[in-house]
Amino acid sequence: MSCEHLICAHCAGPVAEGRCPACREARAHVHHENHGPSIQLILAILLVLALLALAASRLAH
């Protein structure tokens, strides 16, 4: 989601510009999900690594 087209109800300015505290809070809320890897991605990587380790141990025997 993007805040490009959102208009602030407090100052009537574009939220992307962050003119007032309400704009800055809304912008931070919209973009807060894009920081760092998601928990699903981390779990998927761990699952793949576990499957690779299992396959490697079976091939070693």
pLDDT of residue 33: 56
Digit-coded pLDDT (tens) for 7-60: 888 899 988 888 999 988 888 887 765 556 778 889 999 999 999 999 999 998
pLDDT of residue 5: 81
Which pTM was predicted?
0.45
Cross-strand partners of 14: 7
- Quote helix, strand, coil % in the chain, to nearest 5: 65, 5, 35
pLDDT of residue 1: 53
